[in-house]
C-alpha cells in the first residue's frame, strides 16, 4: 500500500511504478535522510508537536534502520518509490504508530532538498581532499624541476623558455581556484530547506533554526518556495566540476603530447600506461585519454540539469527527480579521475634533456635578444625588428642565434657586444625572468611556498 494511497481507487500501473521510482539511485541518500529525520523528530518533540515517547521510539528506530542498511540487511523496494518513503515505511513497520508521526510538518519536497544538500556538502569536501593530494604531487614534482628548462608555447609554437616547475605550477594554480570554487559553492549551499514543507511552510509551531543548527547549516532558507524549488547548489557544483574537468583535460592533453615520440618530454610509468593488442611497441596514455574523455560526461551532467531546470514553474516538479543522477555521475567521475591522474603524474619520469633540446631550437631567445638591445638604449620596436631579421638570417643559414658571429650581429646593430652570448643563453633567459610570477627559481619557490601554505591551511 502506497503511503499516499488515500485518494486513489486503483493501484499504480506496473510501468508507472518502475518509471516513477527513484530508489535505484537515491538510496545513496540513506544516511542524510535518516540524519534529517532524526533532527526533524527531535525538533518536533522540543516544540511539543511530538510526544517525548514517540520521539524516543523514532530516534531508536532510525538508528536501527541505519545500522541495518550499513550491514546490508535492508532491501529497498520500488513500490515505496524513493529512499524517503522506503525508510518511513520501514520505520512504521518496526515501531508502529510512532513512525506515522514522523512526517508531521514535513513534505518529501523539503526532505529531498535537505538530503541532497547534505549529501553534496559532504561529497564536496571529499573532492577537495582529492584535489589537495593532486596539489601536493604537483608541488613535489615542481620542486624537483625548478631548473628543468623546457619550451613554453603559444599557438603550440615554441615561444619563450620556461621551466617544468613553472608549467606544473600553472596547473596547481588552476586547481587551487577549483578548490576555492567548490568551497564557495559549499558555503552558499549551507542553508537549510527543511521546514519549507511542500512549498508553503506549515501551520505547526516548528523551529527551523533548531533543525538548521542541528544539521550543521548556517541558517534556514528564508523563503519556503525557494527552499523546495532551488537546485542552484547542484548546478553550481556541476559548473565547478566542469571547470575542474576542463583543467584536468588540458593537462591530460599535454601529457598525451609529451609522451609521444614527437615530444618525448615525459615517460609514463608502466603501471599507468597500456599496450596495444596488435602493435607490440605501443605504450598508450589511456589514463590521460580517459580523463580527457570523461570531461565530456561531466559537461553533459551540467547541461542535462540546466536543461531540466530551465522552464520549471515554482515550486517542486517531478522533473527535479532528474537532478540526482547527473550529480552522482559527476561526483563518481571526479572521485575516479583525480586520484588516478595524481598517481600517474607522480609516477611519470620527466626527461629534462629532451625538454632542453626542444627549447634550444626554435629561437625561444629571440625576445631576449631584442631585450638585450633595448637594455643598451634602443627602443623596443626597433630592437624587435633587428631580432626578427637575425631570426630570418638564422633560418637561411640553418643555425641558432647564438651561432651567429659578433661581426654578423654588429652588421645589424653596433650595440651588440660579446656579452650578448651570455644574455641569450637558455639558462640566462629563464634565470632573468624574475618578474613576479615568472619562471625564475626565486619565483617558482614563492609559488610552491604559497601552494604548500594553501594545502597546510586546508589539512589542519
Ligand atoms: N523522489 C523524489 C525526488 O527525488 C522525492 C520528492 C518527491 N516529491 C513529490 N511531491 N513527489 O525528487
Integer-rounded Cα Rg, in Å, for the chain is 30
Q: What is the pLDDT of residues 357-407, one digit of tens each?
A: 999 999 999 999 999 999 999 999 999 999 999 999 999 999 999 999 999
Residue 34 Cα to ligand 1 middle (Å): 16
Q: How far apart are CA 37 and CA 108, in angstroms?
A: 11
Would the CB of 316 count as within 6 Å of ligand 1? yes
* Alpha-carbon span 117 to 32, nearest angstrom: 9
Quote the cell numbers at residue 275.
599496450
Testing ligand 1's pocket by substitution, the residue of 28, 80, 82 carrying the most ligand atoms inside 8 A of its CB is: 82
| pLDDT < 70 positions in the chain | 1
Do 320 and 108 touch, CB atoms closer than 8 A?
no
Give me the pLDDT at residue 86, please: 98
162 - beta bridge partners?
150
Q: Which of 112, 227, 327 to mutate to test the pocket of ligand 1 (most atoms within 8 A of CB)?
A: 112
Give dist(CA 420, CA 435) in Å, integer.
21
pTM for the full predicted model: 0.95
The predicted pLDDT at position 5 comes to 76
Cα-to-centroid distance, 197 and ligand 1 (Å): 12
Torsions phi, psi for 411 (to 5 deg): -60, -35
**Residue 323 pLDDT:** 98
CA distances from residue 169 to 136, 172, 248, 456 in whole angstroms, order as listed = 11, 5, 13, 17
pLDDT of amino acid 280: 81
Pocket lining: 119 vs ligand 1, CB cutoff 6 Å: no
Per-residue pLDDT at 282: 81
Which atom of ligand 1 is closest in space to residue 320's alpha carbon? Answer: 12
Per-residue confidence (pLDDT) for residue 422, from 0 to 100: 96
Q: What is the structure's pLDDT at 146?
A: 98
Of the candidates 333, 300, 305, the one whose C-alpha atom is nearest the C-alpha of residue 232 is 305
Amino acid at each position: 500500500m502506497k503511503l499516499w494511497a488515500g485518494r486513489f481507487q486503483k493501484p499504480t500501473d506496473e510501468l508507472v511504478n518502475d518509471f516513477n521510482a527513484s530508489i535505484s539511485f537515491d538510496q545513496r541518500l540513506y544516511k542524510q535522510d535518516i540524519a534529517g529525520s532524526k533532527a526533524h523528530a527531535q525538533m518536533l518533540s522540543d516544540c511539543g508537536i511530538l510526544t517525548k515517547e514517540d520521539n524516543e521510539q523514532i530516534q531508536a528506530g532510525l538508528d536501527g534502520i541505519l545500522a541495518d542498511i550499513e550491514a546490508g540487511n535492508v532491501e529497498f523496494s520500488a513500490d515505496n518509490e524513493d529512499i524517503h518513503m522506503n525508510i518511513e515505511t520501514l520505520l512504521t513497520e518496526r515501531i508502529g504508530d510512532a513512525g506515522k508521526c514522523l512526517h508531521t510538518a514535513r513534505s518529501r519536497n523539503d526532505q529531498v532538498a535537505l538530503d541532497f544538500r547534505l549529501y553534496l556538502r559532504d561529497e564536496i569536501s571529499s573532492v577537495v581532499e582529492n584535489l589537495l593530494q593532486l596539489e601536493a604531487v604537483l608541488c613535489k614534482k615542481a620542486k624537483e624541476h625548478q631548473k628543468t628548462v623546457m619550451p613554453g608555447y603559444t599557438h603550440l609554437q615554441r615561444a619563450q623558455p620556461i621551466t617544468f616547475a613553472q608549467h606544473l605550477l600553472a596547473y596547481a594554480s588552476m586547481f587551487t581556484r577549483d578548490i576555492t570554487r567548490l568551497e564557495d559553492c559549499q558555503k552558499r549551499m549551507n542553508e537549510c530547506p527543511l521546514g519549507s514543507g511542500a512549498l508553503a511552510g506549515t501551520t505547526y509551531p516548528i523551529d527551523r533554526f533548531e533543525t538548521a543548527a542541528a544539521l550543521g547549516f548556517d541558517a534556514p532558507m528564508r523563503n519556503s518556495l525557494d527552499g523546495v524549488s532551488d537546485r542552484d547548489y547542484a548546478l553550481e557544483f556541476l559548473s565547478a566540476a566542469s571547470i575542474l574537468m576542463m583543467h584536468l583535460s588540458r593537462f591530460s592533453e599535454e601529457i598525451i603530447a609529451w609522451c609521444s615520440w614527437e615530444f618525448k618530454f615525459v615517460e609514463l610509468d608502466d603501471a599507468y600506461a597500456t599496450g596495444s593488442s596488435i602493435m607490440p611497441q605501443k605504450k598508450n596514455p589511456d589514463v590521460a585519454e580517459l580523463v580527457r574523455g570523461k570531461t565530456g560526461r561531466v559537461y553533459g551532467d551540467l547541461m542535462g540539469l540546466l536543461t531540466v531546470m530551465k522552464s520549471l514553474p515554482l515550486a517542486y516538479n517531478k522533473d527535479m527527480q532528474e537532478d540526482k543522477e547527473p550529480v552522482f555521475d559527476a561526483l563518481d567521475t571526479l572521485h575516479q579521475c583525480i586520484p588516478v591522474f595524481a598517481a600517474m603524474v607522480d609516477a611519470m619520469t620527466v626527461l629534462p634533456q629532451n625538454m632542453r633540446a626542444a627549447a634550444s631550437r626554435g629561437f625561444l631567445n629571440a625576445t631576449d635578444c631584442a631585450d638585450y638591445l633595448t637594455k643598451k638604449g634602443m627602443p623596443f620596436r626597433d630592437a624587435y625588428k633587428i631580432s626578427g631579421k637575425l631570426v630570418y638570417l638564422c633560418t637561411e643559414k640553418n643555425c641558432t642565434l647564438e651561432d651567429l658571429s659578433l661581426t654578423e650581429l654588429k652588421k645589424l646593430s653596433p650595440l651588440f657586444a660579446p656579452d650578448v652570448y651570455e644574455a641569450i643563453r637558455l639558462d640566462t633567459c629563464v634565470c632573468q625572468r624574475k618578474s613576479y610570477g615568472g619562471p625564475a627559481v626565486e619565483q617558482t619557490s614563492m609559488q610552491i611556498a604559497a601552494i604548500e601554505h594553501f594545502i597546510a591551511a586546508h589539512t589542519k
